[in-house]
A and B are shown apart, each in its own frame.
Chain A
Amino acid sequence: MKITKDEVMHVANLARLDMDEASIDKFADQIGTILEYVDVLNRVDTQGVTPTSHAISLTNVFREDQEKKTLERDKALANAPQKEDGNFVVPKVIT
């Protein structure tokens, strides 16, 4: 198998996904199949080829650092699952 259950569990943890045994089995199987397929890339000689991250060449965009109106606080908080006194509320971070 191209990817083990332990690796799926490890990666799921890195990606902050919680998985039951059945999902881990299924994902290990399906992702293994995909990774095996992806191995065709190793048949391509890419010695000295520059990787592309953007198909259109990009240039840095600079602008003056000017004060501008941004989203108002109540609008930014409007979709928050939990908020208090103009802040986002999250569960306890330090346990």
Chain B
Amino acid sequence: MQLYELTIQQAHALLKGKEISAQELTRAVLDRIDAVDDKVGAYITVARETAMGQAELADQAISQGNIFPLTGIPLALKDLMCTQDLRTTCGSKILENFVPPYDATVVKKLKKEGAVIVGKVNMDEFAMGSSTENSGLQPTYNPWDLTRIPGGSSGGSAAAIAADMCIGALGSDTGGSIRQPASHCGVVGMKPTYGRVSRFGLVAFASSLDQIGPLAKDVTDCAVLMNAICGYDSQDSTSVPRDVPDYTTFLKDSLNGVVVGIPKEYSDVAGLNPDVSKKVQQAANTIEGMGAECVEVSLPHTEYVVAAYYVIAPCEASSNLARYDGVKYGFRAEDRHNLIEMYQSTRSKGFGPEVQRRIILGTYSLSAGYYDAYYGKASQVRTLIIEDFKKAFEACDVILAPVAPTPAFEIGAKVDDPLTMYLSDIFTLSANLAGIPGMSVPCGFSSEGLPIGLQIMGNHFDEGMLLKVAYNFEQATDFHTLKPTL
């Protein structure tokens, strides 16, 4: 086994036993990036020197007996988490040369544990997209099939894990952006409950929906990363002051007494691929066979989820992205001579088409005369979607569902058809609208050999239950151990 193939848990044990050093491990990961990232395109910035420096510090700490679960572990960060003195582009031309003067809270937490930040990975521009094709900087290819998308928007994080170009990663999820690429790349990903992880230093897309979370090689690593990043932060007043459990303690129990809900509306979703449907059904059978009880639940407002989301998210985005004006940081177009024209030219040249489309959609939906019909209406439907989940969780502990209706599609297949792209988010958007946690775990492969993920959703702050179900499922299967050939 190569060092870059290790999981966080495995690497931690070897570091602790002084069988390997953090510098050896980091060098192995950097060499792996050199060897395969030309094909995959996951990294926007590889922080070679600072990563080796952090690894050296980690080795010093370890030699003094100071080791945390992430000490010396090479991690990749989606390029929308601010990293002090390390370029943070958000996948956008408008932030191409932005070097943050401070660390995001999650980055601070990782550094405090002695983690090694290997680099910043690709994403759809401003996290708007489901394929990473909207990156303003470069394409990323799915390590399982280089003609296909890795999913998005955290496509770089998922591809980097799948191709062993990092040991663990963080992404962000506004409408499925951790879970869907995790599913398409055959890795584990979790969107925690809204408010569980601080958003301070996360470049904002839609503030009531955005949440940072881990992508990992297995469920145990996912729990270890959750332990490191969760918790209240006085710099994010939407983070929730609530104790964070040790998530690894949920990785032991059996599934006896766990009630699993299967939403009846989900099997009727148009365009649900038969392989996906079959693998998710088989996964539910496996979980039932391990002692859980499966019941049917109903989420009656499922057919309105995409519409509600694609009003609310662009509205919030149009407001959040008003700050990119070419004055304080980022790109400025120099071809105009008065202030308004400078704003217009900067924003039109700096933002890509999908971002501009969502800004216009959001601005329109919030504008005089349309606010009630669009934003107001969507926010009311959001309430009904939340109530659907409340009712469902009265009857079950977790909900099982597909992550995406199909396996990873071919690059370019939906790029000119935004609505079709949006419709493929049907299974993931609800968790963001309702603020509940959701995760994706590998549950098999399509007939073409593409990974398929099982989605597990739970009640607010019940990430432990998700991890428990995912861990038990993982113990019964070997999908997470299979790797793409590059």
Residues of A within 8 A of B (CB): 3, 7-8, 11-12, 14-19, 23, 27, 30-31, 33-35, 37-44, 46, 49-56, 58, 61, 63, 71, 75-76, 78-82, 88, 90-93, 95
Residues of B within 8 A of A (CB): 97-99, 101-102, 193-195, 208, 234, 237-238, 240, 301, 303-304, 306-308, 310-311, 318, 322, 325-332, 336-345, 347-348, 351, 353, 356-357, 359-361, 363-364, 367, 374, 376-384, 386, 418-419, 422, 433-436, 460
> Considering the chains assembled together, what is the distance between the CA atoms of A75 and B11 in angstroms?
37
Question: B268: shortest Cβ distance to chain A, in Å?
Answer: 15
Residues of A within 8 A of B332 (CB): 81-82
A52's partner among B301, B364, B382 (CB-CB below 8 A) is B382
Asked if B383 contacts A52 (CB within 8 A), the reply is yes
- B359 nearest CB neighbor, chain A only: A15
Residues of B within 8 A of A17 (CB): 344, 347-348, 351, 356, 359-360
Asked if A46 contacts B380 (CB within 8 A), the reply is yes
Question: B431: shortest Cβ distance to chain A, in Å?
Answer: 10
Per DSSP, chain A at the interface is loop
> Considering the chains assembled together, what is the distance between the CA atoms of A15 and B16 in angstroms?
54
Question: A84: shortest Cβ distance to chain B, in Å?
Answer: 13
Q: Which 4 A-B pairs have the closest CB atoms?
A: A55-B435, A51-B379, A79-B329, A81-B332
> Considering the chains assembled together, what is the distance between the CA atoms of A50 and B387 in angstroms?
12
Residues of A within 8 A of B340 (CB): 16
Residues of B within 8 A of A51 (CB): 376, 379-380, 382-383
Given A37-B419, A79-B330, 9 more A-B residue pairs with CB atoms under 8 Å apart are A8-B360, A12-B360, A17-B356, A39-B307, A41-B378, A43-B304, A51-B380, A51-B383, A75-B101
Residues of B within 8 A of A16 (CB): 322, 325, 340, 343-344, 347
> Considering the chains assembled together, what is the distance between the CA atoms of A63 and B235 in angstroms?
12
Asked if A7 contacts B348 (CB within 8 A), the reply is no
Residues of A within 8 A of B318 (CB): 15
Asked if A80 contacts B386 (CB within 8 A), the reply is no
